[in-house]
């Protein structure tokens, strides 16, 4: 949803004056705010995957997870696993 809103506001910015000068300013502010928020979300996502849960990044890239990390992240499923 966020990237779609940035794309829509970017499209409106690409054709200035279609909504009027006042709306151009509003669209610019919305576009900038959404871009900053999405950028922060990407940075937070990378931070969590690389620094907080490094085994999760390894699991995403290789498709494999060591048993200790699996038990730590999924205790209920680990009890049922053979």
List, run by run, the mean pLDDT of 10-residue segments along the chain (82 residues): 80 82 87 92 86 81 84 78 63
Whole-model pTM over 0.85: no
pLDDT of residue 60: 80
pLDDT of residue 66: 84
Confirm if 18 and 12 have CB atoms less than 8 A apart. Answer: yes
When divided into structural domains, the chain yields a total of 1
> Within 13 Å and on the Cβ side, how many CA atoms surround 12?
20
Which domain does 71 fall in, by range?
2-80
3-state helix, strand, coil in the chain (%, to 5): 80, 0, 20
pLDDT of residue 81: 65
């Amino acid at each position: 949803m966020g990237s779609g809103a940035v794309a829509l506001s970017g499209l409106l910015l690409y054709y200035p004056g279609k909504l009027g000068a006042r709306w151009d300013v509003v669209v610019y502010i919305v576009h900038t705010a959404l871009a900053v928020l999405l950028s922060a979300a990407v940075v937070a996502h990378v931070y969590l995957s690389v620094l907080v849960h490094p085994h999760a990044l390894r699991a995403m890239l290789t498709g494999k997870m060591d048993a200790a990390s699996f038990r730590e992240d999924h205790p209920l499923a680990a009890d049922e696993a053979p």
